[in-house]
Amino acid sequence: MNPNPYLKFVSDSVQLINAARSLPLGGFPPAPRPTLSPEAPKALFFAPHPDDETIVGAMALRIFREARMNLVNVAVTQGSKKERQAERLVELRNACNYLGYGLQTTVPNGLEKVGVKTRQNEPQRWAEMVKVIADILAKHTPKVILFPHERDWNGTHIGVHYLVTDALKQMPADFECYTVETEFWGAMDDPNLMVEVSAEDLADLIAATTFHVGEVNRNPYHLLLPAWMMDNVRRGAELVGGQGGAAPDFTFAALHRLRKWSQGQLNQVLTGGKFLSKSENPASLFP
């Protein structure tokens, strides 16, 4: 018998993940949602692909549930496979309905070729896409927007970063909003915010991800979201808190870069890093 006490810990983790492969995909009744005031401020989540709203949507969910903002998912693209675009929109609509989010599309079948190559080599096409995003910003006048950071590895994620920032530059001089940059494919070097994620919120995000049935059948990545969010605690303890700092007592977390768009540029709003525990209302970040 192996005397290492951690063998059971690791083996049990593997068994849990394997057992979860047989859990149902989608079809759940709507998750609990807050009652919003008709005057509730809006938050826009700019999703590079259908399913990003659930994979990296922990902060968006907390903004919706705790800060009681009207969360609208902006489906920037509907994926690159034309034969799946209509189906992916249906899956996205179901996922948003489960969480209680609004849904804003861009153009029929979503924007395409959203990447830095288009930005560099097809200025007219890029300008047309920027206008689509600027019109959405003008329509909703959000208090908070969420979108990927500029080094999020995936070409569309990086493209959406520049698409949103270029659209912000087209807004009137007095336009202001808080910006929350997200990460998934590529880790941020300089996050300034670590947001604790409760077990309940994480479970709802996983369940919402399973509404993207075609994607999770191809790759059951929803089962690894807890491990990823646990690793975020490891990284964020020092990236956000400073090297050698004490780690907060979080199990799951998401890392972000929080700034504010005002006077035509992105401005810092935090002095140093911030740990937002699950007992703190994220509304405090957006005075």
Span 102-135, pLDDT tens digits: 999 999 999 999 999 999 999 999 999 999 999 9
Burial readout 64-92 (b: 16 or more C-beta within 10 A, e: otherwise): bbbbbbbbbbbbbbbbeeeeebebbbebb
Take residue 12 and report the two structure tokens written for it: 């049990």
pLDDT cut 70: percent of the chain above it: 100
Which pLDDT score is estimated for 2?
80
Which pLDDT score is estimated for 127?
98
CB 211 within 8 A of CB 98: yes
All structural domains of the chain: 40-285 (3.40.50.10320)
Helix (H, G, I), strand (E, B) or coil at 134: helix
pLDDT surpasses 80 at 178: yes
Q: Band of the pLDDT at 41, cuts 50, 70, 90?
A: very high
Dmax (CA) for the chain in angstroms is 70
